[in-house]
Amino acid sequence: MARQIEKLSVFLPAFNEEASIEKTVKNVTDNLNRNVSTWELIIVNDGSKDKTGVIVDRLVKKDKRISAIHHSPNRGYGAALKSGLYACQYPWISFIDSDGQFDFSEINRFLDTQQKTDADLVIGYYLGRKVSFMRKLNTFAWQVLVRLLFGLSVRDIDCGFKLISKKVIDKIEPLQSERGAFISSEFLIKAKKAGFKIVEIGVSHFPRKQGEGTGANLDVIIQSFIDLFKLWYKLK
């Protein structure tokens, strides 16, 4: 059976990922070439203070299908996700974190699952997430709260590997979250409210070898809860 998705946009949010960004880009482009006929890759450099931006600009010069968005200063993961989502031009969009904790070769499973289920969103859930116990506990508590407030029942809200129909982005209300980690929840809540079909598949997750994530920062957590209750109040 021929695969229906032949054109795919991919973006990578990146913040201080000089040690991993080049390897991640190669992993993504190699697997795009294996799985789709037409693609673009957008790297969103969210105000990195290391050499991420320099490396990204070098990669852009090597391949016309690769482009870059540079934020200055750093605006947060939500802002990077929004810049990537709204810049994509093809009918289907995927993204992974740029820290090397995913293997983009698994995109073939996302594409096959979409074809078999006719889903509007195929979202990953971690098969053995490689983070601290406290991070896992925080994530569990967050997901319980989101389920209680919005009725969003998925195995993993925040997994950074998704395949999305561009029509979802075009139809739902514009995303608002920037500094906090609320962006994934906001996106799925609005997609569910708009009636789009969500299907989940398990994805491999590897330990971060370099750099440091920002999702466990106290100010990020506080802002996420503020955004969560603002959206609940708006939609109730």
The alpha carbon torsion through 32, 162, 124, 150 (nearest 10 deg) reads -170
Tokens of 230: 């603002």
Of 89-93, 118-122, 218-222, where does mean pLDDT reach its minimum? 218-222
Share of the chain above pLDDT 70, in %: 86
- What phi and psi values does residue 96 have, to the nearest 5 degrees? -135, 160
Tokens of 116: 């078999």
Q: Find all residues with CB under 8 Å of 99, minimum gap 6, and list them.
A: 17, 20, 24, 208, 210, 211, 213
Tokens of 85: 């989502």
* CB-based contact 14:43 (threshold 8 Å): yes
Residue 119 has pLDDT above 50, yes or no: yes
pLDDT score recorded for residue 141: 72
Give the mean model confidence (pLDDT) for residues 102-114: 96
Give the bridge partners for 13, in sequence order.
44
Burial class from Cβ neighbours inside 10 Å (0-12, 13-18, 19+) for residue 164 reads buried
- 187-224 pLDDT, tens digit per residue, is 999 999 999 999 999 999 876 655 555 555 667 677 77
Whole-angstrom Cα distance, residue 212 to residue 210? 7
Give the mean model confidence (pLDDT) for residues 124-130: 78
Q: Which fold has domain 7-235?
A: Spore Coat Polysaccharide Biosynthesis Protein SpsA; Chain A (3.90.550)
Name the band, by pLDDT with cuts 50, 70 and 90, for residue 126.
confident
What count of residues does the chain have?
A: 236
3-state secondary structure of 124: strand
- 161-186 pLDDT, tens digit per residue, is 999 999 999 999 999 887 666 888 89
pLDDT score recorded for residue 230: 75
Whole-angstrom Cα distance, residue 54 to residue 188? 33
Strand order, beta sheet including 198-204: 66-71, 38-46, 7-14, 92-96, 161-165, 121-127, 198-204
Whole-angstrom Cα distance, residue 44 to residue 48? 10
Q: Give me the residue spans of the domains in the chain.
A: 7-235
Mean of per-residue pLDDT scores for the chain: 87
CA–CA–CA angle 95, 101, 104 (5° rounding)? 45
Give the mean model confidence (pLDDT) for residues 94-110: 94
Give the bridge partners for 92, in sequence order.
8, 165
Give the mean model confidence (pLDDT) for residues 38-50: 98
Whole-angstrom Cα distance, residue 98 to residue 20? 7
Picking from 132, 101, 71, the residue whose alpha carbon sits closest to that of residue 203 is 101
Share of the chain above pLDDT 90, in %: 62
Residue 144 has pLDDT above 60, yes or no: yes
